[in-house]
């Protein structure tokens, strides 16, 4: 794909899309992506395949017991309810992580709750895990598996050999008391693990009160043990890989402690990192940032800390534990740096929002 296309989208974004409510634009854009899936496969699918061929066999990543066509995937938060997995894959993403899904449906926080910082190529969100709930999402995924039929594994779900690797990110329902958090995660794991290529325990969003407290090792271990047991109960002989997603705001010592815990409990991987509550280093006017208020910051300002966390973890856990690098990946050079820091797989979100539909192919071509 020529570099002109990303520039066209950038111009459209800066002069048209950025003047519309971000959440409304997200819904319209996602609807358009889903509607355009057949055309996208013809127009962009070939570009993504060409980029992968240029990289050659090295583009495939064997991780979590799965084969990923290339390292780049879409982070949780874009497709919260599993409604556009295959349309997003058609854009070139090698894996799509849906969610965050909670045990019970919930509307999320009051609007407005999504804000752009254009000058920083960043986003602040306080969405609050708005989603349809684990029961509805599980039924939707089962229907997708039936619809795809022979394109997925005989068990009725993808295994990395299917059309796209599907991760499912689960979190805590806001109204569930903290003392019942494990039961809430167990409910989601029981309903969703049968449909997941990998499962992610999200304890790092800043937008659910008390959630980040679960990152403390003494609280995280029983939660991970419970989710692991429940996932195994509902999937039989197939072991679903389990990962935890952590915040960039953990101290270095706490990051290393999570790495130690991951090895101790037999986790399959760590996703580093979620959004940050820090506002340091922004070029956006401080008054504008203050007016926006609370929420998790994603995008370019997060890149260095997210890279540092990956490097810290790789040095601690050794070569075998899968690390997904996410946070501030905007360009192919960002992607390359994160891989060099020790990530096996990559995820984007804000880079995709600012880069447009051609962004995955553009990054893959740069990596090639």
pLDDT value at residue 41: 82
pLDDT value at residue 1: 40
Cis check for the bond before 100: say yes or no (omega within 30 of 0): yes
Average pLDDT score, the chain: 90
- Binned at pLDDT 50, 70 and 90, residue 158 comes out as very low
Render pLDDT for 297-307 as a digit per residue (tens, 0 to 9). 999 999 999 99
169 is in an annotated binding site: yes
Quote the CATH superfamily of domain 4-367.
Answer: Aldolase class I (3.20.20.70)
120 is in an annotated binding site: no
349 is in an annotated binding site: yes
Q: State what percent of residues in the chain have pLDDT above 90.
A: 83
Task: Tell me the two tokens of residue 187.
Answer: 């409910």
pLDDT value at residue 18: 61
78 is in an annotated binding site: yes
Render pLDDT for 283-337 as a digit per residue (tens, 0 to 9). 999 999 999 999 999 999 999 999 999 999 999 999 999 999 999 999 999 999 9
Render pLDDT for 22-74 as a digit per residue (tens, 0 to 9). 999 999 999 999 999 999 888 765 555 555 555 544 589 999 999 999 999 99
Indicate whether 215 pLDDT > 70: yes
Q: State what percent of residues in the chain have pLDDT above 70.
A: 87
109 is in an annotated binding site: no
Inter-CA distances, 286 with 189, 283, 295, Å? 41, 8, 15
**Domain ranges within the chain, ordered by starting residue:** 4-367
293 is in an annotated binding site: no
pLDDT value at residue 274: 97
- Binned at pLDDT 50, 70 and 90, residue 185 comes out as very high
Active site residues: 205
Q: How far is residue 19's CA from residue 123's CA, in Å, rounded to a whole number?
A: 14
Inter-CA distances, 305 with 265, 273, 367, Å? 26, 9, 22
């Amino acid at each position: 794909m020529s570099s002109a296309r990303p520039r066209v989208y950038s111009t459209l974004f800066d002069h048209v899309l950025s003047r519309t409510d971000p959440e409304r634009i997200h819904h319209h854009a996602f609807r358009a992506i889903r509607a355009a899936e057949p055309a996208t496969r013809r127009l962009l699918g070939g570009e993504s395949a060409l980029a992968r061929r240029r990289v050659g066999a090295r583009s495939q990543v064997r991780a979590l017991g799965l084969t990923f066509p290339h390292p780049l995937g879409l982070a949780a938060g874009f497709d919260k309810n599993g409604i556009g997995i295959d349309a997003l894959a058609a854009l070139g993403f090698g894996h799509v992580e849906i969610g965050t899904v909670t045990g019970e449906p919930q509307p999320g926080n009051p609007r407005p709750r999504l804000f752009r910082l254009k000058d920083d190529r960043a986003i602040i969100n306080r969405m609050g895990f708005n989603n349809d709930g684990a029961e509805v999402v599980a039924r939707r995924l089962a229907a997708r598996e039936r619809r795809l039929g022979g394109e997925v594994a005989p068990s009725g779900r993808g295994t990395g050999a299917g059309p796209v690797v599907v991760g499912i990110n689960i979190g805590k329902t806001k109204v569930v008391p903290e003392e019942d958090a494990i039961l809430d995660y167990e409910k989601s794991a029981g309903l969703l693990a049968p449909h997941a290529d990998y499962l992610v325990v999200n304890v790092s969003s800043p937008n659910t009160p008390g959630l980040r407290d679960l990152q403390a090792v003494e609280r995280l271990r029983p939660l991970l043990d419970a989710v692991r047991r429940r996932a195994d109960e509902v999937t039989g002989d197939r072991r679903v890989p389990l990962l935890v997603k952590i915040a960039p705001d953990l101290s270095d010592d706490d990051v290393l402690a999570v790495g130690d815990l991951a090895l101790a409990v037999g986790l399959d991987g760590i996703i580093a990192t979620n959004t940050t509550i820090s506002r340091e280093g922004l070029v956006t006017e401080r008054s504008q940032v203050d007016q926006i208020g609370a929420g998790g910051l994603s995008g370019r300002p997060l890149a260095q800390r997210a890279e540092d966390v990956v490097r810290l973890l790789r040095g601690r856990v050794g070569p075998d534990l899968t690390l997904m690098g996410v946070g501030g990946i905007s360009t192919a050079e960002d992607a390359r740096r994160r891989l060099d820091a020790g990530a096996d797989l990559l995820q984007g979100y804000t880079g995709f929002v600012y880069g447009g539909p051609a962004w995955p192919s553009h990054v893959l071509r740069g990596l090639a």
